[in-house]
Structure formats: C-alpha cells, structure tokens
Amino acid sequence: MKQARPITITGGKLVLAGELRDGAIRLAGGRIEALGDVRAQDGDEVVEARGKLIAPGLIDCGVFAVDKPAFHFGGITRAALMPDQQPPLDLPSRVTHIARSGKPDLWVHPLAAATRGLAGEAMAELALMREAGARGVATGRRWIGDSGAMLRLLSYAAMLDLPVIAHAEDAGLAGEAVATAGEMATRMGLPAAPAEAEALAIARDLALAELAGARLHIRQVTTRAGLALVRQARARGLCVTAGVTPAHIHLSDLAIGDFRSFARLSPPLRSEDDRQAVREAIADGTIDIIASGHDPRGPEDKRLPFADAAPGMAGAEVLLATTLGLVRDGVIDLPRAFALLAGNPGRLLGVEAGELREGAEADIALIDAERPWIVDSRKMAATAGNTPFDGQPMQGRVEGLWKGGVRV
C-alpha cells in the first residue's frame, strides 16, 4: 500500500539524532518530506501530536518470530529476524520469502544463518542470501565452537560487507546450564555455568574479528567482563558493536527465584553486579543497541520445570517502555534512547531508516512517553505472553504508528 495523501503531524516533540525539538513533520510519498518548522498544506491529513513524541519507528535487531501485533503495539516498524526458524534461514529462497513476509506494514530484514542448519560447521551461501535480502549473518542462538570455522565465516562476511551477529557463550562452559552460577542457582539446584562463559566467547570472537577485519555485533552482552572487552576492543579501533535486551537491563537472577520459566533466558539472567554493569554500559555508550529478542513461547514450551523449558521471552511490547524507563532514571536522554532503539540498529543493518531526517522512509511512531500501563501476560498482543515483566507497571505507549507514511 502506498501513502495516498500527505500527512502532517503537528505540535509534537521531534526526537532527532542528538536533540529534542518542538515541531511538526510532513510525510509524503512514503517519505519524510520536511520536519521542524513545518505547516500542514491544503489537502493534508493533519494529526495533532499535542506535545507527544514524534519518533522514528523502532528497528528491532534480533527477533525470533514475526509477530506483527506485538511489534505494532511496541512501535516497531522493522525487525531483523534471527535465522533460528523452522526450517532455518540457510537458503536464499527462505530469505526471499521472509524478506517479503511482513510487507507492507512491517519490514522484516532477514539475518542469514551463518552455517547450514545452524550447526556451526559448514558455511551457508552467504552471498546468495545477501542477494536475496539478508542484512546480516547470524550464528543463531548458539556460539560457533570451532574457531577455524568462525574465522572463515568472519573473513567471508567481511568480504561481502555483511555484519556478523554473534551469540556469546562459550559452549563448553555453558554446557546444559540454564542459570548463572551463583547463590541463586545453587539455592534452586539448577544446572549453572559461570558468567565468564560470556567473556571467554567474546574474547575469542573479538580476536578473530580483528584478524578477519570483520564487522562484529554481539547481540547480547550481559556481563561486566564481557562489556569491558568490548570497550577495550573499540578503543583499539575494532568495528564491534554490542546489544542487549530489556531483561538483562532490568532483571537480575533474583527473578528466577520462583522457578518461573518466563525468566528462563539465553544467556541466563546474571548477578546484580552484572546488571549494573549493563546499565553503566548503556550510559557510557558501550552498548549500541537495545533489542527485544522477541521469542513468544506458548505453554508447550514454557509450562515446564525451569530447566526443561525453552529459553526466550516475548519482548516486543515492553522494549519501548523499558527503555523509556532508563530515560526517567537518568541513565540516558531521549535522543540516545532512540539511537539505541532505531538509529544504531538501522545503521548496523544498512537500511534507510531509524532516524528522522528529510528523505528518509516515513516510519514514524507517535508516543506518549508518560502513559502508564501494566504488563499482563494473559492479555498481550504477542502470540504468547511469556514475559518476565508480567504484572509490572510500565510508562510509555505508542499512540500512532506509520510505516512508509501509511498508518498502521
């Protein structure tokens, strides 16, 4: 669907790169035509923002399911889909299919499986999948244990100028663990791995990425030690970015205390000290991207004993509100929040979106940053309500969403 007539959203707060400005925005032909001191023209559809935020639509970098209602609830207009699908995104035809799957009101950017069947061994047809629309290469839910295979992957992806999106948990240490080693896991008698499994994996991947000259994005960096390695590598000039999901920002492993499988995540929830380190890394710029990791799981996967349940959480609906919580807590300001949610993921994926600027795709979210609501796992827009934030109060809701100038 094409945008039929121009829309002017007036009287809002424009969330621009680096600043917040009172003003209006005019969307025409599916693009942002003008913004700032803009007036509606004759024939425009006029939307009164009444002081609310006019922000770029969120770009969710790393989701496990295409779940439109949840994405739209959360202000997400583009999502990068992880290759961990049934079957995995390891063939060009599957990538083509996925790249079309959400249009027109949601653009899905497929991430190509790094290896066939995500088995961590034979490289998949990355160049053909790039042709088919893949915006990056991902190792999937798992780390590639074979360092030789990882180096070959990184150098090949570098040649194709595709970012490699990695999962950082040393497989040998992580084993069958479902929790981070420490008092909590010990009290509960859960199989646990030391948090160092992450730093080990990151250290190796950074060394290999440096060798290969590759762009490396670590989808979730959740420990103090892991974040320190990323910080050092970037200071050395490596092209490495780090992401995290709301769970590791707002919850520690105390949240697994009642064996609630909604808090069973991969990587597992960490100690309070690591959680604090994540917040510091968001504040100091070490973390570039906050993504939902959206992974809706029904009772057949989650209504199980903790260790037997599948990892993952439905995160799309709380992505925006939890990040706005960081703004209220003074960790970051609003422009930075949207850099984390839209600008930086857009740059990583190389798409013309994620920031409000003239000529960019008109993916716009109108947001009431103050509006309170309560997460209710039984009444979610997502296909399943597996959220560890169940029952928690949130602030910030999307009141209007436009994809390519068309209201969703």
Partner 1 sequence: MTAQAPTPAPSRFPAGRLAFPHRDLTAIARLERHEILFLLDEARQWVDWNRRAGRHSELLAGLTIINAFFENSTRTLLSFEIAGKRLGADVVNMHAAQSSVKKGETLIDTAITLNAMRADAIVIRHGSSGATQLIADKVDCPVLNAGDGSHEHPTQALLDALALLEALGREDLTGLAVTICGDVLHSRVARSNLLCLQALGATVRLCAPPALMPAGVEAMGAQVFHDFGAALAGADVVMMLRLQQERMSGQFIPSAREYHQLYGLTRQRLALAAPDALVMHPGPMNRGVEIDSEVADLLDRSIITRQVEMGVAVRMACLDVLTRTRRGVEGWA
Which positions touch partner 1 (CB under 8 A)?
A: 175-176, 181-192, 194, 258-259, 299-300, 303-309
| Closer by beta carbon to partner 1, 192 or else 221 | 192
> In whole angstroms, how close is the CB of 4 to partner 1 at the nearest point?
49
| Closer by beta carbon to partner 1, 185 or else 380 | 185
d(Cα 12, Cα 22) in Å, to the nearest integer? 6
**DSSP conformational letter for 262:** G
> In whole angstroms, how close is the CB of 311 to partner 1 at the nearest point?
14
| Closer by beta carbon to partner 1, 66 or else 307 | 307
- Rounded to the nearest 5°, which phi and psi values hold at 164? -105, 125
- Nearest Cα neighbor of 279 from 212, 222, 207 is 222
| H or E element that contains 81 | strand 76-81
Residue in this structure with the two tokens 């947001």, named with its chain if needed: 367
What would the two tokens of residue 50 be?
A: 């009444």
> In whole angstroms, how close is the CB of 189 to partner 1 at the nearest point?
3
> In whole angstroms, how close is the CB of 305 to partner 1 at the nearest point?
3
Which residues 6+ apart lie within 8 Å of 141 measured at CB? 82, 84, 118, 167, 266, 311
| Closer by beta carbon to partner 1, 180 or else 292 | 180
> In whole angstroms, how close is the CB of 166 to partner 1 at the nearest point?
24
Q: Evaluate whether 163 touches 139 at the Cβ level (below 8 Å).
A: no
> In whole angstroms, how close is the CB of 370 to partner 1 at the nearest point?
36
| Closer by beta carbon to partner 1, 87 or else 298 | 298
C-alpha pair distances (Å), 402 with each of 106, 144, 147, 158, 405: 10, 38, 44, 34, 5
d(Cα 386, Cα 297) in Å, to the nearest integer? 6
> In whole angstroms, how close is the CB of 312 to partner 1 at the nearest point?
15
> In whole angstroms, how close is the CB of 2 to partner 1 at the nearest point?
47
| Closer by beta carbon to partner 1, 264 or else 294 | 264
| H or E element that contains 59 | strand 58-63
If phi over 0 gives left and psi between -120 and 50 gives alpha, with beta otherwise, what is residue 405? left
SS3 104: coil
Environment class of 21 (CB within 10 Å of its CB; exposed 0-12, middle 13-18, buried 19+): middle
End-to-end CA separation in angstroms for the chain: 11
| Closer by beta carbon to partner 1, 73 or else 306 | 306
| Closer by beta carbon to partner 1, 37 or else 258 | 258
| Closer by beta carbon to partner 1, 191 or else 285 | 191
User: Which amino acid makes up residue 296?
Assistant: P
d(Cα 109, Cα 81) in Å, to the nearest integer? 6
> In whole angstroms, how close is the CB of 172 to partner 1 at the nearest point?
9
Q: Evaluate whether 25 touches 43 at the Cβ level (below 8 Å).
A: no
